């Protein structure tokens, strides 16, 4: 009886070992999230967003924007939206998308007056 149980365990281990080789390989991201280039490889963007969600938000000399946490994008005055615009225009192109992720992680929604400019820079 013990030999039957042991042979079943060994057979299961061997099958598991060989079936792993036939399984679809897990796609590992190449490099860091800075290598995501917006190509149709959406897995890259998803992994970057998940990675960003597990890290503390990065600040871009914009701590004053924390006062807008929980506010809807339609609730900003033009003067308040201008604060976001000033920061947006000082960012380097590679900082725009991470800045948007930082705002999201901090619970800050972009003002409607600035969203189009932000999207143009991200897609640009």
Q: Which tens digit of pLDDT belongs to each residue from 25-84? A: 444 444 556 556 555 555 676 776 677 667 788 899 999 999 999 999 999 999 999 999
Which residues contact residue 85 at a Cβ distance below 8 angstroms, ignoring those fewer than 6 apart? 113, 114, 117
pLDDT in tens, 89-110: 999 999 999 999 999 999 999 9
Q: What is the pLDDT of residue 1?
A: 67
Closest CA to 110 of 94, 91, 19: 91
Q: How many CA atoms lie within 13 A of 84 on its CB side?
A: 26
């Amino acid at each position: 009886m013990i030999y039957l149980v042991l042979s079943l365990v060994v057979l299961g281990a061997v099958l598991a070992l060989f079936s792993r080789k036939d399984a679809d390989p897990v796609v590992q991201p190449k490099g860091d999230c800075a290598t995501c280039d917006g190509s149709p490889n959406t897995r890259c963007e998803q992994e970057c967003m998940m990675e960003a969600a597990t890290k503390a938000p990065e600040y871009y000399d914009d701590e004053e924007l924390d006062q807008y946490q929980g506010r809807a994008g339609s609730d900003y005055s033009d003067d308040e939206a201008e604060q976001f615009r000033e920061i947006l225009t000082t960012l380097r192109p590679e900082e725009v998308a991470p800045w948007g992720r930082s705002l999201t992680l901090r619970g800050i929604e972009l003002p409607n007056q600035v969203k189009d400019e932000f999207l143009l820079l991200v897609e640009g």
